[in-house]
Amino acid sequence: MTTATHSSVTETAVKRAVPMNVFRQSAPLRTVCLENRELVGPGGVGTVRHLVFDTSAGPYPFLEGQSAGILPPGLDANGKPHKLRLYSIASTRHGDTGDGKTLSLCVRRLEYPHPETGETVYGVCSTYLCGLKVGDEVDVTGPTGKAMLLPDDPAATIVMLATGTGIAPFRAHLWRMFRENNTDYEFRGSAWLIFGIPTTPNILYREELEDFRQHANFRLTYAISREQKNAKGGRMYIQDRVAEHVGELWELLQRDNTHVFICGLRGMEDGIDAAFEAHTAPLGIQWAEYRKHLEKSHRWHVETY
């Protein structure tokens, strides 16, 4: 993974400060579920839950953009413990309550048809988490990950491209930028979120996102695939929005403190690259090479699955 810093000075400082694997599988942190609520509105597709866990038995130190490991109980078909699953943390280091004693996750229940029987198969860990009751205990490992950390520069331009539960780290970023009053981080840059979802009821954290619009330096663009059309009359996906605004996005990338964060389904990456390739080719610039430059400069951050 690339680190999420943009200069050698801050990179060294952040590397020293980033907590990593404080809790391991052999000795996880036992947390308690404090909240489990549905994020998908009536008529939406699937189930996505917002979960809050009490970490006061820790502490569990983490930074915005990191992930937590979940150990689902029980054994798999081979009689072995279920494998660890990683989920992006959807809260700041201070948690939803602001006291630094909770962490939040945004979890979609995985559902897919069995390739042979056609019966619906449910993901082991996501089903476990989505079915938690308040008071249930959950073993957590981590934190882990450096790819999605915010840059130290409070004047940076932050472009966030998310699909579905890929919104999780960006919720943490936006809270830190616009909701919290942090003496160590007073955001005065600009942020632009392009969010891809299938239907309007699937706009996760919609009320929060709309509230952030009161800030002049926050911009919000939706790509609602089953309701909106792209320029060719097909479904509107996040890569179509990138193509629609590629000129403006390209101009932003010319600033040495612009950072692009991509989180969600891996399938969107090719379309995003194609949009930039179509724009840069007439300029005599090879997008693949330019993206490598952004990656080496720690300004192109990707976490997809």
Among 67, 88, 91, 190, the one annotated catalytic: 88
Among 106, 125, 130, 263, the one annotated catalytic: 263
- Known catalytic residue: 303? yes
Cβ proximity of 222 and 193 under 8 Å: no
- Where does residue 200 rank: exposed (0-12), middle (13-18), buried (19+ CB within 10 A)? middle
Coil, strand, or helix at residue 146?
A: coil
Paired tokens of 250: 């390209």
Among 60, 87, 128, 237, the one annotated catalytic: 87
- Known catalytic residue: 38? no
Coil, strand, or helix at residue 209?
A: helix
12 forms bridges with which residues in the sheet? none
Whose CA is closest to 221, among 248, 189, 247, 245?
A: 245
- Known catalytic residue: 35? no
With b for 16 or more beta-carbon neighbours within 10 A and e for fewer, the 207-246 pattern comes to: eebeebeeeeebebebbbbeeeebeeeeebbbbbbbbbbb
What radius of gyration do the chain's Cα atoms show? 19
Active-site amino acid positions: 87-88, 263, 303, 305
